[in-house]
Each structure stands twice: as C-alpha cells, then as structure tokens.
Amino acid sequence: MVSPLDDILVIEIDNWMASPSAGAILADLGARVIKIEPPSGDPMRNMGRAPKIDSPLKTFDFQFDVDNRGKESLVVDLTQPEGISVVQHLCSKAQIFMCNLLLERQQKYHLDPETLFAINPTLVHATLTGYGTTGPDAWRPGYDVTAFFGRSGLYDAMREGDDGIVPQARPAQGDHTTGLAFVAGILAALRQAERSGTGQTIETSLFETAVWTQASDYATTAMDSAPVRRRARPNMLTPTANRYPCGDGQWVVFNMPGAGQWLDFCRALGLEHWLTEEKYATPKGRYDHMPELTQGVDEALAAKSRDEWGKIFDAAGLIWGPVLGLHEVPQDPQAQAINLFPTINDAAHGDYTTVGIPMRFSKTPVGPTRAAPLLGQHSKAILQEFDFAPDLIASLSQQAVIQADD
C-alpha cells in the first residue's frame, strides 16, 4: 500500500533539531528526503546522550536518529560554485526545498526563493528560523531555549509564582513543536502548488510558534498588555485544578476548573468534612483559602502512593493524570496501545525503539522505516540517479565538492 507522500521529493538543508524534525515527519509519511550536509556534517551528529545500555547499540546516536531517520545523506560543499549547482539541479526535480538558512545565507548560496523559482516554478520553498526572515531580528540565530521559550514569554509565564526562577525546558521541546507547524505549512503549500501549478515560499519560526502555543493567554494579553499572573500552587484558582505530591513522592495533577466536582473531589480524598465548612462553600471562598486547602490536600495524599490514589480517582470519576518520569512513559500501557514507541527494523543496526510521530492513519502505513544515514552515505548513488555522468561525479569528488562514505 502506498504512503501519503511517496511521490514527493524533498531537498533538505538544515541542522540541529527543529527543521530536521520536520524532515523526519515527512520521511515517516513516505516522502523521499535528501539531506544535504556540509563536509563536517550536521553538528548534531554524535552530540546525543549515550544510552545506558549494554549492547552493540550503546554508541548509537539515538537523538540524531530520531530527527533524521529515513533520510538520505548527500555531502556537498556549498562554498564551491559546483556544489551550489549540484543542489540547484536537485531542486529542479523536487517538490519541496526546506532549510533553516537565514535569508542572507540563502542568497549567498543562491538558494533563495527568487533563484530557485526561476529553476523550478512549482517548488515549495520552506524556511524555518529563530525569529522570521523579516524585521529587526531576522539576522539573529535562535535556539528553542532562546527564541521559543525565552523571547516568547513562555519561560516567564511558567515561573512558580512571581519570585520563582525561570524553569529549564527539556531538549528540543520547542524545536519539535515548531517542526510540526513547519510540516503543516509545507503540506498546505504543496497542496496549493498541485492545484495552481505555482510554488510559493512558506516560513515559520521558533518565536511565532511559541506565541501560538500560548494563544489562550495572548488572546487577552495582546489586547490589555497586562502581565500574566504567575501562580504558585497555594495561589491557584481552585484546589480541583492543581498538582500535588503523593505519599511515595510521586505527583498527580488535577484539572477540574469548574465547581461541579468539588463534592467528588473531597469524598475521594477522605475530606468530606470540608463540605460542611461554610468558608469553602463557594468557588470564591475556596479561592480565598487556597493556601490552607493546598496544605490539606498535600496531607491527605501523603497517606497513599500515586498508583493507589489513581485507582481511587478513577473510581470517583475525577479528571486527573499521573506526573510520570520520562523513563516510565515507554512502559505506560496507553503509550504501548497507540504504538508511541515503534521499533525500527534496520539491517545495519538491528532492531531498536524510537519515538513515533503524533499521528496515525487508518488505511495508509506511516512511521519510521530505517535509521538515519551515515554522513555522505548516499552521495554517489544520488548523483548517479540524477543523471550526473560518472566522470563528473569523479571530478566533483576529487575536488571535494561532494563527499561519499566509501
């Protein structure tokens, strides 16, 4: 059975995690993705945390793999005119060109929209940057911790109260979120190109994607410019929408912002006496007494473990979730039921677990099929396929315009 994008050729020039993650999604959806790398390779290669396992895979870079699986690697030196010509030729055959090059570098390497549209008018030219390609900070490099979490207001809004320190995000959260936005824009532009016969540029950035993730806050803040209220646990709006530690040190989180489940909440926690307290009778009264209610829930939950409480919460119909550690999630029954961590059956590396893309299709197969390529693994084969003569390939290799993993 065919995959959704199995007739699509993508030329990708990028590094690190944000744009490459979008390329990995396109590859999982069936597209052929050719990753153009400099002779030194994507700097993300061999930077991932080594897994704590005792197997031949203990030196495998799983973090690079998750954003580059299913791709082909072609090493091209873009500082040489012949290298630029190689990439332009590939773009003439492609449906999508995607990159994270700032506009100045696109122009330097003659990979800007104007140049590539002259070669291929139907091309989708897609750019992902830190802050966008226009405006006073278009020149500024951006990583997710700076452009996504810092500049967007997200770090500040996530502080635990007004005196709380700025939190630290886990690696590439903003990158992978922005990668999803990038994929959506690329596929919409591809659909339009198929209908109109004309390509166009699409772009997104870490900065604007982060703002969109906070749209519920910004819908009001953009109008009144009022600082967001940073709420510590004792200052939340209601005890039924808060997070608490259990007796084993594990945490749970509730999200029942309405008043309707106050009764079930108190009964499940063995706090029925609160139901007769006049000061807790209304949402306003509970809000006014949040510090003591938070302490009371903490004390009640200390009597049992997270898993013991979970059964009680489910029986009471409460809306809650366990705060799992990353190491717990791959064994979570729900994660396993939806194949959130599929297995790649790779001829060179054997079977190993990876992270699935957050979408599933009922009729067409999608998902990872092979490991990320070695640097330059497909250089010669790609050029041969795209009608480069053997003597030209040899000359390009001798001049170090291309590099093959022999």
Task: Give pLDDT tens digits for 255-286.
Answer: 998 888 999 999 999 999 999 999 999 999 99
Confidence of residue 405 (pLDDT cuts 50, 70, 90): low
What's residue 162's pLDDT? 82
Q: Which residues are within 8 A (CB) of 356 and not within 5 positions of it... i.e. 6 or more apart?
A: 339, 340, 341, 342, 367, 368
What is the rounded CA–CA span in Å between residue 351 and residue 363?
25
**Sequence ranges of the domains in the chain:** 9-216+342-403, 233-323
Please state the three-class secondary structure of 233-270 as a single string: HHHCCCCCCCEEECCCCCEEEECCCCCCCHHHHHHHCC
CATH class of 233-323: alpha beta
Q: Which residues are within 8 A (CB) of 268 and not within 5 positions of it... i.e. 6 or more apart?
A: 312, 313, 315, 316, 318
Task: Give pLDDT tens digits for 75-125.
Answer: 999 999 999 999 999 999 999 999 999 999 999 999 999 999 999 999 999
Residue 406 has pLDDT above 70, yes or no: no
Higher per-residue confidence, 32 vs 59: 32
The share of the chain scoring above pLDDT 90, in percent, equals 84
For the segment 120-141, the average pLDDT, to the nearest whole number, is 95
What's residue 186's pLDDT? 98
What is the rounded CA–CA span in Å between residue 348 and residue 350?
6
Place of tokens 């064994």: 331
Q: Which residues are within 8 A (CB) of 240 and not within 5 positions of it... i.e. 6 or more apart?
A: 254, 256, 257, 261, 262, 265
Token digits for 27?
């590859």
In CATH, 9-216+342-403 is 3.55.50.30: no
Residue 144 has pLDDT above 60, yes or no: yes
Confidence of residue 214 (pLDDT cuts 50, 70, 90): very high
Confidence of residue 4 (pLDDT cuts 50, 70, 90): very high
Q: Output the average pLDDT for the chain.
A: 94
Token digits for 141?
């490099």
357 in Cβ contact with 366 (< 8 Å):
yes
Residue 394 has pLDDT above 60, yes or no: yes
Considering only the C-alpha atoms of the chain, give the largest distance between any 2 of them, rounded to a whole number of Å: 89
